[in-house]
Amino acid sequence: MTQKTNIASELKRLLRHGSIYGIAGILSRLVGFLMIPVYTHYLSPSDYGINELVGLTTEIIGIVLGLGISDAIYRFYYDKSETDSPNTVFSTACIGITLSSFLLLALIGFFSKPIASVVLEERSQYIYILLALATLWFNQQVNFIYTYLRINEASTKYLVVSLLKLITALSLNIFFIVGMKMGVLGLFISNCITAAFFAFCLYPFLLYRIGIRFSWGIAQKMLRFSLPVIPSNLASLAVNASDRYFIKVFLSIADAGIYGLGYKLGNIVFYLVRVPFMQIWDPRKYALYSQGAPKELFAQVATYFAGMMIYVGLGISIFVHDVIQIISPAEYWSAARYVPAVTLCYVIYAMDHHVGFGILVAKKTEYWTLVNLFMGAINIGLNFLLIPTYGVWGAVGATFISLTFKVVCLYAIGKRFFNIPFEWFRLTFMLGAAVLLYAARFFISLHDFVAAIIYDTALCAIYPVILWVFNIINTDEKRIIKSFLKNIFHRKIISNAARP
């Protein structure tokens, strides 16, 4: 078998598994988006704020307790110089994290009342903290199952488990929130039951497959590998989470809920485009680099990726004003005003692995950590300064500035190691055209719902036409698009002709 054949076979495998993992990743986030109409109709903005703040708090705790152990498992599982039994690596991680996190979460739970008084509004709301901590512990066990399926390339099983967990979570959420009318408490109970059910069903099976064994030597090496990742992950989360805490302190928990909804709608573009794309592109870009692919290819891929992010982001920004009136009552409609700005933030943020590719190939990840730490510090400082004066818009501004800082720094450092000639003119034009089209939607707002939908659809349809007319889509790309559409049209004619 030739090297070319090996590469082709490998890429086909990566594409197959990467696509399934991408779908599974979207499914894991889909429950939150599908439940937005239920949340907004059966939960008040204050309830929604409780869900946001408790969720972010447990996410912070989860980063610390998880110790970035998944990456450590990937690193040591295949390293035969460390152990003759890969399952010992996996079992060590499972046992160590499960037991240590149980003890630490129990300790945190002991202080749940003072935590509730700081994070929420009253000590009596500590039940939300306790349920969230229990959910976190069960979900850690479920995440080990996901990691095991990834290592064994059982992507179909991974997708099935993700889908079943999604259906269970949706069903229980609707039962407790709508059927039992338990409000935000029902949300926390249903999440806990879902996590516990899958942990009890699958975690014992995982331990049976890998065996119960523990190695202190491997545990120490895995910790040394994963601990430096924690500050970087916390800094990234600070950008995504700290603003809600400041909004709650300087404004109200209801404002945090409204902003949380706008934030969730705004970062849909991240999970629709960036997450599945990177599942495929992450391994592929290293393969291309090792083969000596031209730098222009990486620039072109970045342009296509940015174009898709911008176009999907434009559609979300334009239609959100109409959609939010369908999925939520009037008290939540103000969340739509923040969505376009949050979407822009995530379009910029999604370029990090493109502009910072040089850092990754040079294995200088300490630069990435430093940039993340500075970004987190800038974001927290700006939230403290801007939110008291500018309210929720201060939080949006802090997010935009800190994420832009990260991407600019990664680009400046990354090009020292691998200078990709990004197509800045095309990127700027695509973003500028999208901003102008959104401005047309913002300044010309139609009150009739049907007319507004038609107008919004026309604005989205105009975007690719603008890129075509002004030759932002170049001649070669136009030829490929024409050929692709011609083949589709030709196959449709043949299919229709074959019908009796």
281 and 134 housed in the same domain:
no
What is the Cα–Cα distance from 178 to 231, expressed in whole angstroms? 40
479 in any annotated domain: no
| Same domain, residue pair 189 and 315 | no
Q: Give the C-alpha separation, 32 to 21, whole Å.
A: 18
**Residues 313, 363 within the same domain:** yes
Distances (CA, A) of 410 to 45, 88, 431: 37, 37, 20
pLDDT in tens, 141-186: 888 888 788 777 676 787 788 888 888 988 998 999 988 889 889 9
299 Ramachandran zone, left/alpha/beta (phi>0; psi -120 to 50)? alpha
The domain containing residue 332 runs over which residues? 245-469
**Of 176, 197, 227, which residue sits at a domain end?**
227
State pTM to two decimals. 0.73
Asked whether residue 273 falls in the same domain as residue 419, the answer is yes
Among 240, 200, 178, 25, smallest CA distance to 98 is for 200
Report if residue 192 sits inside a domain: yes
Position 13 in a domain: no
According to the model, what pLDDT value does residue 159 have?
79
Predicted local distance difference test score (pLDDT) of residue 423 = 94
What residues have CB less than 8 Å from 136, skipping those under 6 apart? Answer: 58, 61, 62, 65, 105
From 15, 11, 14, 21, select the one nearest 155 (Cα to Cα).
21
- The torsion angles phi and psi of 43, rounded to 5 degrees, stand at -120, 140
- Determine how many CB atoms are found less than 10 A away from the CB of residue 374: 15
For residue 233, being part of any structural domain is answered with no
> Given a cut of 60, is residue 278 above it in pLDDT?
yes
DSSP string, 256-276: HHHHHHHHHHHTHHIIIIIHH
Let me know if residue 382 belongs to a domain: yes
End-to-end CA distance of the chain: 45
Compute the CA torsion angle 435, 436, 437, 443 (nearest 10 deg): 110
> Lowest-pLDDT range, 23-27, 111-115, 302-306?
23-27
CA–CA separation, 447 and 438 (whole Å)? 17
Number of domains observed in the structure of the chain: 2
- Give pLDDT tens digits for 362-389: 877 788 888 988 998 899 999 999 999 9
Report yes or no: 286 and 77 within 8 Å, Cβ to Cβ. no
Residue type present at position 193: I
pLDDT score of 7:
43
DSSP H stretches of helix in 152-274: 155-174, 183-210, 216-226, 229-250, 253-266, 268-269
The residues, any chain, with a CB within 8 Å of residue 368's CB and separated by 6 or more, are 232, 356, 359, 360, 410
Apex CA 390: angle with CA 388 and CA 393, to 5°?
120
- Confidence (pLDDT) at 294: 87
Same domain, yes or no: 44 and 83: yes
Based on the domain organization, do 147 and 251 belong to the same domain?
no
Lowest mean pLDDT among 116-125, 143-152, 199-208: 143-152
Same domain for 79 and 171, yes or no, is yes
Cα angle 245, 250, 256; round to 5: 45
What percent of the chain has pLDDT above 70?
Answer: 83
DSSP state of 179: I
How confident is the model over 61-100, as pLDDT tens digits?
887 776 556 666 656 665 555 556 777 777 888 888 888 8
Please check whether residue 196 lies inside any domain of the structure.
yes
Query: What is the gyration radius of the CA atoms in the chain, in angstroms?
Result: 24
Q: Across residues 450-460, what is the average pLDDT?
A: 89
Q: What is the pLDDT of residues 249-259, one digit of tens each?
A: 899 888 888 99
Closest CA to 371 of 316, 414, 339, 317: 414
Q: What is the pLDDT of residue 268?
A: 84
Examine the domain organization and report whether 313 and 404 are in the same domain: yes
pLDDT band at 228 (very low <50, low <70, confident <90, very high): low
pLDDT tens digit string along 394-428?
A: 999 999 999 999 999 999 999 999 999 999 999 99
Residue 187 shares a structural domain with residue 255: no
Q: Is residue 14 in some structural domain?
A: no
Helices 126-151 and 155-174 meet at what angle, rounded to 10? 160
Of all residues in the chain, what percent are helix, strand and coil, respectively (each to 5)? 85, 0, 15
DSSP string, 135-167: HHHHHHHHHHHHHHHHHTT-HHHHHHHHHHHHH
> Does 441 lie in the same domain as 312?
yes
Contact of 434 with 311, CB cutoff 8 Å = yes
391 and 268, same structural domain? yes
**What's the average model confidence in pLDDT over 49-59?**
85
Length of the chain: 500
Question: Average pLDDT for residues 269-280, to the nearest whole number?
Answer: 76
The two three-digit tokens of residue 100, written as one number: 């240590």
Residue 5 pLDDT level (bands cut at 50, 70, 90):
very low
At residue 84, the 3 state secondary structure works out as coil
Asked, for residue 491, whether it belongs to a domain, the answer is: no
Count CB-CB contacts under 10 A for residue 83: 17
Task: Identify the helix (H) or strand (E) that includes residue 353.
Answer: helix 352-355
Same domain, 428 and 344: yes
Other C-beta atoms closer than 10 Å to the C-beta of 171 total 12
